[in-house]
Structure 1
Amino acid sequence: MKDLAALISAFASLLWPVILAAVLYVLRPAVLELVSTAKNRKFSIKVGGQELTMDEANEQQQRLIADLQAQVIDLRNRISPELPDTENRSENVRATIAATPGEHEVLWVDDNPKNNSYLIEQLLQGGIKVRTVLSTSDGARMLKDGRYAMIVSDMGRNEVGGFNPHAGLDFLKLVRGADKDVPFVLFTNSRSYQEYRDTALSLGATYITSSTTDLAGIFRNAFGKRF
């Protein structure tokens, strides 16, 4: 009896994969149809009693964020006008961008570009192209493709060989060796801002900030109503 039970158990363990394969084969057309049609489906949510697609909801959210940023920037400028040095830099940036030939394009170097998604989308909606790369070496290759209206870089990032806490400064030196005029913005965390601010400015950074709102203000001052 034990041998028979073992035989039945072994047979059952072999039978389940066969049954599963048979079911998948029978359902294969339906599964393929489900996969192919899923690409064209748009999930929806209800907001304020209205049914919105995720794209529509995301678009409204972006407009709200952009409006809030604009209000904050305007309020801050009224309360605390730019210092003469900063104001001169803003004027120089606008003049440099205006003199940049062709379509305006921003080169953005960051090993985690998802963190910048909303700002990138705002630039794109204003007709400003954005080229994102993940490392200093990739950024160096992009510099050979043409001149950019602005360059943005994070500070510390994963590079070949491991994490480089001052990769942004390394890229800044490389850029300034080739172009002394292109606006260069370092967008970093508060710790790196405190540690590297003076060094970055002495090496030729146009701006360094740890604030998303400040960066949005830099874009607005540089590109005007397009941002």
Structure 2
Amino acid sequence: MKEASALIGALTGLAWPLFASVVVWRLFPVIKNIAGRGNFTVRMGDAELTVQQFSDKLVEATADIQQRLTAVSASEGQEEPSEQTERPPGVLRRVLWVDDQPANNAYETAQLQSLGVEVVHATSTGEGVRALHKARPPFDAVISDMGRSEPAGYNTDAGLDLIREIRSFDDTTPVFVYASTKTLARKEEIATAGGNGVAWSPVKLFDLLHDAGEFPGAADG
């Protein structure tokens, strides 16, 4: 487990954003593999951490990296046009995530929560729309997958349908599609429907979310 301790130390001190982004992208499968081995403790200096404590430390470390990456990206890309529609900057306190497989986004959810963002999950377009109508306070952003299982069957355009539903009563809340790189081919279609951006990696997703509002951990710190 010395390698794991060294990994955490390296992650918290990373200064090279490109290398950090690769580590973040690769980290979740590694954690799943470690956790699948069963109960164990990890020695960190003079202390021992449980599997849960070890995972929490990794979440905190990579969430910090994500936050630093978005700050670097924002400072380096100020002259580039944003995928967002014009909207006053604020704080990203609540996010609605619509995906029929929430477990697939467990690590990204944990990172957001570590940064102080409340994440509410919905598994269908209808459930997501109802959550938006009932939300008090309102959500600051919406994330959706593209294709998902709906009550009527699998819908390859579920993300688009959700965006159109939202835009029928809400013109301002940012809506992002988080899916595979194949979805990039539909980027223009998503924008026409009213979507604010497409993400295919955690780093890109956090970049888009940072455009929607500052993470509470940074805003309150």
Displacement after TM superposition at 1:141 (Å) = 1.6
What residue number does 2:206 align with? 216
Structure 1 residues 96, 138: CA separation in 2 closer, same or farther (over 3 Å shift)? farther
Displacement after TM superposition at 1:48 (Å) = 4.1
Q: 2:190 aligns with which of 184, 187, 200?
A: 200
Number of residues paired by the alignment?
A: 177
Deviations 1:133-184 (A, max 9, x none): 1111111221220332111111011112321111000000000001011111
Task: For 1:75-224, list aligned pairs within 5 A.
Answer: 75-77=72-74, 80-86=76-82, 89=84, 92-93=86-87, 95=88, 97=90, 104-146=93-135, 147-194=138-185, 196-224=186-214
Displacement after TM superposition at 1:74 (Å) = 4.3
Bigger shift: residues 202-211 or 217-226: 217-226
Report the RMSD for the aligned CA atoms in angstroms.
2.6
Identity %: 26
Higher relative contact order (CA 8 A, sep 6+): 2
Displacement after TM superposition at 1:121 (Å) = 1.9
Any idea what SS the aligned residue of 1:151 has?
A: strand
Deviations 1:63-102 (A, max 9, x none): 2212332344445455x51454207x37x34x2656xxxx
Structure 1 residues 83, 153: CA separation in 2 closer, same or farther (over 3 Å shift)? farther
Instruction: Tell me if the contact between 2:146 and 2:156 (Cα under 8 Å) persists in the aligned partners.
Output: yes
Any idea what SS the aligned residue of 2:194 has?
A: coil
TM-score in terms of structure 1 length: 0.68
What residue number does 1:45 align with? 41
Bigger shift: residues 147-156 or 122-131: 122-131
Structure 1 residues 155, 138: CA separation in 2 closer, same or farther (over 3 Å shift)? same
AA aligned to 1:152 is I
Displacement after TM superposition at 1:220 (Å) = 2.9
What is the distance in 1 between the residues matched to 2:64 and 2:133? 36
Structure 1 residues 127, 70: CA separation in 2 closer, same or farther (over 3 Å shift)? closer
AA aligned to 1:105 is R
What is the distance in 1 between the residues matched to 2:90 and 2:82? 16
Q: Which has the larger radius of gyration?
A: 1
What is the distance in 2 between the residues matched to 1:225 and 1:158? 31
Structure with a larger share of its residues in helix: 1
Instruction: Tell me if the contact between 1:123 and 1:226 (Cα under 8 Å) persists in the aligned partners.
Output: no
What is the distance in 1 between the residues matched to 2:111 and 2:216? 9
Any idea what SS the aligned residue of 1:86 has?
A: coil
Structure 1 residues 114, 82: CA separation in 2 closer, same or farther (over 3 Å shift)? farther
Instruction: Tell me if the contact between 2:89 and 2:213 (Cα under 8 Å) persists in the aligned partners.
Output: no
TM-score in terms of structure 2 length: 0.70
Uncovered stretches (5+) of structure 1, i.e. residues with no partner: 1-42
Deviations 1:193-227 (A, max 9, x none): 22x10011111111112121111122233332425
